[in-house]
Structure 1
Amino acid sequence: MVVIRLARGGSKKRPFYNLVATDSRNRRDGRFIERVGFYNPVGSEGTENLRIAMDRVKHWTDSGAQLSPAVERLVKSYSQKVSAAA
């Protein structure tokens, strides 16, 4: 089963997450199929903290992929932010 979830990167006390499509049996930071975005929770003001390729997320969900709860929350907030900016 394919799942879209967060893969942690960055250093100690400075997390950085990639949104990745991966097989659910792979490890959290292990092998993945495709990187569909990133999330930087400690980014400074004026930098881009979240970017998601919504077309790729839609492709994967149409193909049967599940979103993790954290990714579902991020996608919802990102889509609201993008629609408000347009």
Structure 2
Amino acid sequence: MALKIRLQRHGASHRPFYRMVVTEALARRDGRFVEVLGTYEPQAKRPEDELNVKLDRVDYWKSVGAKPTDTAASLIRKARREAPAEAETAEA
């Protein structure tokens, strides 16, 4: 069973909303999945609502062999860059 970390498209026409999920590689794009890892809303009103990813769960799934798609990998990198800034804000 090959696992992928990829995006599922939800939302209305011209108003996309994506869930980042772990799924089998042969499953349909919006079909069965194992776990929801986060969300991505490119047209969010506030920048902090645009990307929410559970990085600890992403690390777990990658350690068990799940491969992220190119888009998912770029969003994970973006979430990692933003994570330290959020941690600094929470401490203040």
- Tell me whether the two structures share a fold, i.e. TM-score over 0.5: yes
| In structure 2, C-alpha distance between the alignment counterparts of 1:57 and 1:64, rounded to whole Å | 11
1:52: which partner in 2?
Answer: 53
Larger Rg: 2
Q: By how many angstroms is 1:46 displaced?
A: 5.4
How far off is 1:45 after superposition? 2.7
Equivalent position of 1:20 in the other structure? 21
Structure 2, unaligned stretches of length 5 or more?
Answer: 88-92
Listed one character per residue, the Cα deviations across residues 16-66 of structure 1 (whole Å, up to 9, x for unaligned) are 000000000000000000000000001113551110001110010000000
Moved over 4 A (4+): none
Identity of aligned residues (%): 36
Alignment RMSD (CA, Å): 1.1
The total of aligned residue pairs comes to 86
Cα gap change, 1:46/1:58 in structure 2, threshold over 3 Å: closer, same or farther?
A: closer
Question: Please, what TM-score do these two structures have when normalized by structure 1?
Answer: 0.95
Partner secondary structure for residue 5 of structure 1? strand
> What does 1:7-86 correspond to in 2, within 5 Å?
7-45=8-46, 48-86=49-87
